[in-house]
Amino acid sequence: MRLDSVFVSTRAIIHVDMDAFYASVEQRDAPSLKGRPVIVGGHPKRGVVLAASYEVRPYGVRSAIPMARAVKLAPHAVVVPPRFKAYAEASEQVFGIFESFTPLIEPLSLDEAFLDVSGSMGLFGSPGEIARRIRARIAAEVRLPSSAGIAPVKFAAKIASDLAKPNGQTEVREGELLAFLRPLPVSRLWGVGPKTEQTLTSLGLRTVGEVAACDPAWLERRLGTLGPHLWRLGNGIDERQVVPDREAKSMGTEDTFEEDLRDPDLLRARLHSQALRVGRRLRRAGVKARVVQLKVKFSDFEVITRRATLEAPTDDGQALYREASALFERVEPGRAIRLTGVSAQDLHSGGGQLALFGARPRKTEALNAALDRIAARWGTKAVTTADLVEAEPERDPDPESRAAGASQLDPGERKGRL
């Protein structure tokens, strides 16, 4: 079988990934942190690293390792507690830029997404030019670095963005796909973890090209159904489509608090912030929700959910918050809580049946449209509610005090901050 006849793609896919996202937001918002080793994480004794700036990575600090280990590896690093609201706001701005180039956006997390720009080239130029324009706007409007991979298939676009980091982009054109993949180590194949990599190595397969050259039936006998899957990827065959966010069955957001919270007012403020964020996402996607779900994780890691069905679909964050707050009344009081989340479910395009008195919905929609315009230009903090201002005070103006293990990480001094 000729490899060049296996799969012909006409798609142009971009994978955009923000560079050290949480750490970059902290360095952006505190200029004294620029160029310094920064660790975003929780308490040094029980937390994990959420993000590590590129300046601290040479010391072996990476995301998801225990904070206690990270502090030992880089005792000179600046430890910054996470600010999830700031990250969510930056993410909304980034995704707003994506939407100005294509509606085909598949979010993978707050800081990365696949974009299918196959139908956008007539307006914005080649896939490489579109990626450059997206990254330039992110740099200018959000003041954050990003990397991009461009390829005819998702699998290769993701690898290309990884290789482009930090703050770069790599393009793999249609005729270059197999040549790009062949020399890569087998660990780059999706589905290959340490154990599978060891198995492949024992079979004499160390590169993607060596896997691609195998008989797929032979691979299946040794690896089961994973074998043909790896053969297909090795030959650049990845038929998965970019699945837009607007087609999702639900939209939601959740935050893990740096400290467990008991104060009902602080917890409701967090729910309020989350509901407003979900409302903005619904409006941006052009959908409305009929169901609201509240998620609560207690300090002992028990998780509960509560759901309510609305009389009519909505994209109004305040309406979502009212339902979430009512659901919160059904949660056992007094228990320490480490996470809350609000999600909108049973999504519908457009609106549902109007209420008996139509003026109020029209006023609400006009208000939300005005707030969305303000947020798009000035950020979500430009206009906010009193409970959010009181619950989330401004950042400590003295970043020099954020040394590893400093007292600002102690629960008594961090109350009221995410």
Does residue 228 have a cis bond before it (omega within 30 degrees)? no
Residue 174 annotated as catalytic? no
- Would you call 244 helix, strand, or coil by DSSP? coil
Active-site option among 26, 89, 112, 258: 112
For the cut 50, the answer to whether the pLDDT of residue 394 exceeds it is no
pTM: 0.63
* Percent residues over pLDDT 90 in the chain: 56
Question: Alpha-carbon distance 379 to 385, whole Å?
Answer: 14
Q: What is the 3-state secondary structure (H, E, C) of 324-388?
A: HHHHHCCCCCCCCEEEEEEEEEEEEECCCCCCCCCHHHHHHHHHHHHHHHHHHHHCCCCCCCHHH
Q: Alpha helices of 256-335 — where are they, by DSSP H?
A: 264-285, 317-328
For the cut 90, the answer to whether the pLDDT of residue 17 exceeds it is yes
Q: Report pLDDT digits (tens) over 301-327.
A: 888 999 999 989 999 999 999 999 999
Residue 353 confidence (pLDDT): 45
- Would you call 203 helix, strand, or coil by DSSP? coil
For the cut 80, the answer to whether the pLDDT of residue 264 exceeds it is yes
Q: If pLDDT is split at 50, 70 and 90, which confidence band does 418 have?
A: very low
Q: Report pLDDT digits (tens) over 356-382.
A: 444 445 566 656 566 655 555 555 555
